[in-house]
Amino acid sequence: MTDHSTGGAWDLIVTPWHLDEHIPAFPVPVGATEVIPPALPEGPVAARMNRLHQAAADVVAQAARPLVLSGDCPTARAAVAGIQRRHQDLAVVWLDAHGDFNTPAITASGYIGGMALAMLTGRTPGLFDDPLDLRPIPDTSVVLADARDLDPAEDDALTTSQVRRVPADPAAITAALGDLGPIPVYLHLDIDVVDGAQLPGARFPSGPGPSLNRIEECLAAICATADVVAAYLACAWLPEHVGDPATRDTIDRLTRALGAELTWREPAG
């Protein structure tokens, strides 16, 4: 595949919320565009999330090469909807300890955050009152790496899908990308893919898994071999830990593997 390691500067975007909850302490790099959460109506969580996603999609659509730092995974639907305004076809590489492939029909917990990849592949119609003009990504254009922590029904859904599942290994991921051909890539990483022992304060630690160093290698390999037109880092730490020095160091390392160098704003107060 072509070497894309110098694929251009990143446009940093911050979406500081988890589902419908604003995270005031979310770290914001210097030069980043922070999506200001709009006023949210009373009512269902999905309706409130949709208002946030509308704002995020508009900001992403204006960025040449967006790198989104977010507090959750579902805002990925906004990122992809924004990217699709410029790219007709898109592949998705999704690195996550979880499959995020639940739907309202099969979820055991009802947690909307566990449906993010299912949203992108068109499996959650009617969940949001505004589809954002999001075009479903075909299963055959999705590479899911790791996904070591799955609910039983979610595992079944992935097994019967055509999503390409691979370990969090640079060679395995780039081989799967090679099978997709020269298609622009949206690269999504949930930090909980990293071994839980290396993620103090994570919302959903998933026990033993690939090291932070291995995930850095995966990101660098993807950027070197694919046309990564957008990337997304789900910074799923608990609110009281999202601004910790250790958290910022992890974000620094992951974004550096993508070719971005961050400088942090000093926290307010």
What CA–CA distance (Å, rounded) separates 216 from 235? Answer: 15
Structure tokens at 37: 């959460």
pLDDT at 120: 98
pLDDT at 228: 98
- 11-257 is a CATH 3.40.800.10 domain: yes
What CA–CA distance (Å, rounded) separates 227 from 248? Answer: 27
pLDDT at 133: 96
The pLDDT tens digits of the residues spanning 138-153 come to 999 999 999 999 999 9
Q: Which residues of the chain have pLDDT under 50?
A: 1-6
Of 134, 59, 48, 57, the residue nearest 92 (C-alpha): 134
Backbone angles phi, psi at 32, to 5 degrees: -80, 150
Q: Which residues neighbour 57 within 8 Å (Cβ) at sequence distance 6 or greater? A: 78, 79, 81, 82, 132
Total-model pTM: 0.95
